Structure 1
Amino acid sequence: METHHLGLNIVGYTDSDFGLGEAVKSNIEAAKKHNIPLNIINYEKVKQDANYRYEFKYSINLVQIAINDLDTFFSVIDLDFFNNKYSILFLMWESEYFPSRFMGAINMFDEIWTASSYCKGIFEKIYNGPIIVIPHPVELCLKPITHQNSIVFFEKNRFSFLFIFNYHSSIERKNPFFLVEAFIKAFGNNGDVELIIKTVGSEQFEQSKRKLHQAILGQNNIKIFDIDLDKNSINHLINDCDCYVSMHHSEGFGLTLAEAMSLGKPTISINYSGNTEFMNEGNSFLVDYELGLIENPDRNFCFKTVWGNPNMQSAIKNLKEVYNNPDLRKEKAMNAKLFVNDKLSLYNVGSIIKGRLDHLYENFDKSIAKDKQSSYLLNQLQFAKKEIVQLQRQIRRMKKNVIISFILYLKDTVRKYKSKMAY
């Protein structure tokens, strides 16, 4: 058996700074801690640049892309991807209901890696292969900020709560309206405490943006900043707050929470979903919840979505406790820093990756890959049939439009002719 030096082909957004890009880059760094040979393939170039050349040097592939990109992936990736390869999909999801439209693409892979036991439980309902929990590595380095930022996020004499979210990650899921309501009920317009919400990506979500800004009208201690910052500036922003808070409905992992904990910040969050992989009563302030359906379906999550609804009284209690109990918040913050910097270090996560790769190479069975290649070809045939049906529908519509246009043209011509004859 050819092991190819136990290496790994990684396909992902390797040059991007958004969440999935940071996630794949952190896995790359974790693998490097154990000298795992890597072959990095930039998926954005695969999609957009016909001249981009790449190869699959090793026998195991790891694909770490957005779930909505999977259909495109199978249509653009080189067929050698399936040639005697064992392929792993790194997948995240944030609802106990999983859309059936993704099941076919997911089951094209030999194995799933995911960052939390919460996600593993979701995928076990729709996927029969191995599912391995590989948590996101969290290891921040605060580099000096080279440019002078004129924006003042925090008031010096206030206790500052911070929440960061991207509109593209679903404002419904991130649940900032609940956070604003809980903060107002806990503190009113108390000038000694503030809530800072740092957002990005509002350009395509003007209605949601207006709604969020309207929710804080009259509040002198809540500010919203919609600004794009580099990763180092985000790290400094988290490090400068007094407490990081998230009242989300669900997280596949909850990376900003883990990052805040690694910096020794007290954290408040719902006691549900992926963040419970690293948050517990000893290192965090956890908000009670009840499972429920989504109230406002959006383009990311449909009406069948099931996730956690934070309890308002519990949220208010935790906000006040963090603010009023400096000894407790210091104790939990220290426990959080120790836990995250140990369990989620690049080295420890890299150890999990290396252990799994060693096992796979020791038990490598190329027949699995061949089965997947057959499945891929069948999938492509089905995809082609769907495209043919869609094209046939478009042609029929075009024909109807041509006939209708011709009839309208004849009617107009006759009408003009009659007008002339009458004259």
Structure 2
Amino acid sequence: MAILGAFSSSSGLAQGARLYANRVEREGHTVIRVDITEAMVQQPAFSLEESGAISLKEFMSMKLPCILVIHANPPQFHLILFRLGKRFLHNKKIIGYWAWELAVVPDVWRHALQYLDAVEVPSAFVREALLPCTDKEVVVVPHVLEAPQKQKTAFACDGIVRCLFIFDMGSAFARKNPMAALEAFRLAFKPGEAEMTFKVSSPQADYENFKKFEQACAQVPGVSIMTKTLDDVALEELYLKHDIYLSLHRSEGYGLTIHEALLYGLHAVATGWSGNMDFMDMPKAHAVPYTLVAMQATSGAFKGLKAKWAEADIDAAGQTLRRLRQELLIDHR
């Protein structure tokens, strides 16, 4: 099996491809990891050697008969097919591993379905979106995350509650909705009671909104932004330094970082809608109430779609954060 993904990228899709490859290998299958970061027009965060993958060019030169699992959403999916070419793809089974964030699917996705033998998706939410668009098999293959060796055991030891949100500026700023997380944090805590870290990838992908967000963060005491690319060890340290993961997203295809935070033992305060609801029954998961509202997107992948997404109740999120602080401080005593 050849798994094509943006292995040298730090994106959520890249991490999904890595988790998929790890799972297939644990099941005893031979896996070829093929890096398609460049073909997807993404910025690499690691070298090819560090990624553990081979280049697309090297893979094509091998001319191996194998199943292709392509971790790329349309229209990047189309770019990968174009690079591979009809001759290479002839008689090969093609599986698309796709993650979409809305209940309405754009035309470019519907068009791409014709090139697939099967579709795999990370959550029931994505499956429900794609099912009406195809008579092909749509299978939920959730991200399999191994329980980390280190877990959070002590919270707010110095009396300060630390919150975290990780997001990519290339993944639709409005959808990730960090402004809501910032506002909930501001409402919940007095200066000195808590700290909030925003770990931001690819700020250059939407630099205008990043600068606006940076300016907004500067107005709230205790808030910091981190843009450095982290390896697995540093990412683990980041999770373990914090007590609460806060995601007031408007929609998620899965919500990988929310799931990771829960596995590390953090409390996760997250919008109670979309892909993350597949695992929000875990201990320390706190679903935030929401209202479905009409999505207004004037650019990007969501442009022109008549769809709804969730507007998290910021006041309710703030109340949950305050309650958790009180509980964590009591437990620490």
TM-score (norm 2): 0.84
Distance 1:214 1:49 in 2: 40
Q: Show structure 1 runs of 4+ deviating over 6 A.
A: 45-49, 327-330
User: Are positions 1:202 and 2:220 aligned together?
Assistant: no
TM alignment of 1:228-267, pairs within 5 A: 228-267=229-268
* 1:240-267 deviations in Å (ceiling 9; x for gaps): 1011110000111111111111111111
State the partner residue of 2:112: 105
Distance 1:74 1:328 in 2: 56
Task: Kindly state the Cα deviation for residue 329 of structure 1 after the two structures are TM-superposed.
Answer: 9.2
Distance 1:68 1:235 in 2: 32
Task: Kindly state the Cα deviation for residue 61 of structure 1 after the two structures are TM-superposed.
Answer: 2.5
SS of the equivalent of 1:190 reads coil
User: Are positions 1:71 and 2:72 aligned together?
Assistant: no
Conservation of the 8 A alpha-carbon contact between 1:56 and 1:81: no
SS of the equivalent of 1:125 reads helix
Distance 1:216 1:34 in 2: 45
- Aligned to 1:9, which of 2, 15, 34? 2
SS of the equivalent of 2:75 reads helix
SS of the equivalent of 1:53 reads helix
State the partner residue of 1:318: 320
> Which stretch of the first structure deviates more once superposed, 104-113 or 45-54?
45-54
TM alignment of 1:16-415, pairs within 5 A: 16-44=9-37, 53-58=61-66, 60-139=67-146, 157-187=159-189, 189-280=190-281, 283-304=284-305, 305-326=307-328
Please report the RMSD computed on the Cα atoms of aligned residues, expressed in angstroms: 2.7
Conservation of the 8 A alpha-carbon contact between 2:164 and 2:198: yes
Distance 1:205 1:93 in 2: 20
Task: Kindly state the Cα deviation for residue 42 of structure 1 after the two structures are TM-superposed.
Answer: 3.2
> Which stretch of the first structure deviates more once superposed, 280-289 or 171-180?
280-289
Inter-CA distance 328–63: structure 2 relative to 1 (3 Å threshold): farther
Inter-CA distance 313–217: structure 2 relative to 1 (3 Å threshold): same
> Which stretch of the first structure deviates more once superposed, 299-308 or 190-199?
299-308
Conservation of the 8 A alpha-carbon contact between 1:46 and 1:77: no
Distance 1:56 1:129 in 2: 25
SS of the equivalent of 1:234 reads helix
> Which stretch of the first structure deviates more once superposed, 36-45 or 277-286?
36-45
Q: Percent identity?
A: 23
Distance 1:90 1:198 in 2: 26
* 1:245-293 deviations in Å (ceiling 9; x for gaps): 1000011111111111111111110110111111127541110111112
* 1:128-152 deviations in Å (ceiling 9; x for gaps): 2111110012126579xxxxxxxxx
Aligned pair count reads 311
Distance 1:311 1:157 in 2: 26
Could you list the runs of 5+ residues in structure 2 that have no partner in the other structure? 41-54, 151-155
Task: Kindly state the Cα deviation for residue 216 of structure 1 after the two structures are TM-superposed.
Answer: 3.0
Could you list the runs of 5+ residues in structure 1 that have no partner in the other structure? 1-7, 144-153, 331-423
State the partner residue of 1:339: none
> Which stretch of the first structure deviates more once superposed, 194-203 or 218-227?
218-227
Q: Name the structure, 1 or 2, with higher relative contact order (CA <8 Å, separation 6+).
A: 1
Distance 2:5 2:94 in 1: 13
State the partner residue of 1:393: none
State the partner residue of 1:364: none
Q: Given residue 184 of structure 2, which amino acid in structure 1 is its aligned partner?
A: A
Distance 1:214 1:258 in 2: 29
SS of the equivalent of 2:260 reads helix
Inter-CA distance 287–37: structure 2 relative to 1 (3 Å threshold): same
Task: Kindly state the Cα deviation for residue 327 of structure 1 after the two structures are TM-superposed.
Answer: 9.1
Task: Kindly state the Cα deviation for residue 296 of structure 1 after the two structures are TM-superposed.
Answer: 4.6
Inter-CA distance 101–68: structure 2 relative to 1 (3 Å threshold): closer
Task: Kindly state the Cα deviation for residue 82 of structure 1 after the two structures are TM-superposed.
Answer: 4.1
Q: Given residue 248 of structure 1, which amino acid in structure 2 is its aligned partner?
A: H
Higher helix share: 1
Distance 1:126 1:141 in 2: 37
Task: Kindly state the Cα deviation for residue 57 of structure 1 after the two structures are TM-superposed.
Answer: 2.6
> Which stretch of the first structure deviates more once superposed, 176-185 or 41-50?
41-50
Task: Kindly state the Cα deviation for residue 122 of structure 1 after the two structures are TM-superposed.
Answer: 0.5
Conservation of the 8 A alpha-carbon contact between 2:187 and 2:315: no
Distance 2:88 2:4 in 1: 10
Distance 1:326 1:156 in 2: 11
Distance 1:264 1:318 in 2: 17
Q: Given residue 277 of structure 2, which amino acid in structure 1 is its aligned partner?
A: T
Task: Kindly state the Cα deviation for residue 176 of structure 1 after the two structures are TM-superposed.
Answer: 0.7
Q: Given residue 243 of structure 2, which amino acid in structure 1 is its aligned partner?
A: D
Distance 1:50 1:245 in 2: 40
TM-score (norm 1): 0.67
